[in-house]
């Protein structure tokens, strides 16, 4: 089927099975590789993108659910062509270790900040609690988000 959606503000039409995971459309059809495959079962958060403003696990979101929708990936998070403040904070605080989960972490944190400009530490922890990091960068993630809020 033909599925039309906007990815990072750009209209796209892809010819795929409707139950194809949004993740594979983003990576393989559209060519944006910043969104990662971790578990493929909606458990780890590595594949987090925003669909119509809400964070979703793109590995377990059929692309047909995104028909006519707006998808934002890590590549489109910044609106000015530079780094988003969270990405800048990630650099300044040296958050990533292997880096694999970090785009999903940032997308979850970005959703929090879009809806709560002054989150508490508990709010931040809750917002990223569904994003697993096998390197254990959690404390640096929270510190980096806090630095954007301050
Ligand atoms: Fe989607 Fe793990 S790859 S939640």
| pLDDT per position as a tens digit, 37-96 | 999 999 999 999 999 999 999 999 999 999 999 999 999 999 888 999 999 999 999 999
CA of 87 from ligand 1 middle (Å) equals: 21
Q: Which CATH class is domain 85-149?
A: mainly alpha
Task: Check if the beta carbon of residue 120 is closer than 8 Å to that of residue 103.
Answer: no
Q: What's the pLDDT score for residue 80?
A: 87
> Judging by beta carbons within 10 Å of its beta carbon (0-12, 13-18, 19+), is residue 120 exposed, middle or buried?
exposed
State whether the beta carbon of 128 lies less than 6 angstroms from ligand 1: no
Residue whose Cα lies nearest atom 4 of ligand 1: it is 42
What's the mean pLDDT when you consider all of the chain? 97
Yes or no: domain 2-76 corresponds to CATH 3.30.1300.10: no
Q: What's the pLDDT score for residue 81?
A: 84
State whether the beta carbon of 38 lies less than 6 angstroms from ligand 1: yes
CA of 76 from ligand 1 middle (Å) equals: 19
Side by side, which strands form the sheet with 54-57? 10-15, 2-7, 70-72, 48-51, 54-57
Q: What percent of the chain has pLDDT over 90?
A: 97
Quote the distance between the C-alpha of residue 37 and its chain's center: 12
State whether the beta carbon of 47 lies less than 6 angstroms from ligand 1: yes
Quote the distance between the C-alpha of residue 73 and its chain's center: 6
Dihedral class, residue 8 (left if φ above 0, else alpha if ψ from -120 to 50, else beta): left
Task: Check if the beta carbon of residue 47 is closer than 8 Å to that of residue 57.
Answer: yes
CA of 79 from ligand 1 middle (Å) equals: 25
Separation CA 73–CA 71 (nearest Å): 7
State whether the beta carbon of 21 lies less than 6 angstroms from ligand 1: no
Domain spans of the chain? 2-76, 85-149
Q: What percent of the chain has pLDDT over 70?
A: 100
CA of 150 from ligand 1 middle (Å) equals: 30
Task: Check if the beta carbon of residue 56 is closer than 8 Å to that of residue 13.
Answer: no
Region 93-104: mean pLDDT is 98
Task: Check if the beta carbon of residue 65 is closer than 8 Å to that of residue 3.
Answer: no
Q: What's the pLDDT score for residue 57?
A: 98
Token code pair at residue 58: 């793109």
* pLDDT > 80? residue 150: no
């Amino acid at each position: 089927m033909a599925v039309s959606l906007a990815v990072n503000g750009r209209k796209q039409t892809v010819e795929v099975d409707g139950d194809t995971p949004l993740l594979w459309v983003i990576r393989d059809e559209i060519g944006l590789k910043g969104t990662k495959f971790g578990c493929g079962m909606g458990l780890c958060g590595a594949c987090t993108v925003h669909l119509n403003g809400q964070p979703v696990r793109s590995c377990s979101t059929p692309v047909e659910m995104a028909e006519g929708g707006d998808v934002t990936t890590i590549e489109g998070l910044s609106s000015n062509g530079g780094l988003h403040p969270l990405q800048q904070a990630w650099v300044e605080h040296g958050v990533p270790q292997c880096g694999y989960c970090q785009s999903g972490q940032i997308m979850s944190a970005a959703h929090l900040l879009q809806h709560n400009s002054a989150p508490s530490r508990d709010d931040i922890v809750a917002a990223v609690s569904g994003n697993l990091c096998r390197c254990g960068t959690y404390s640096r993630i929270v510190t980096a988000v806090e630095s954007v809020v301050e």
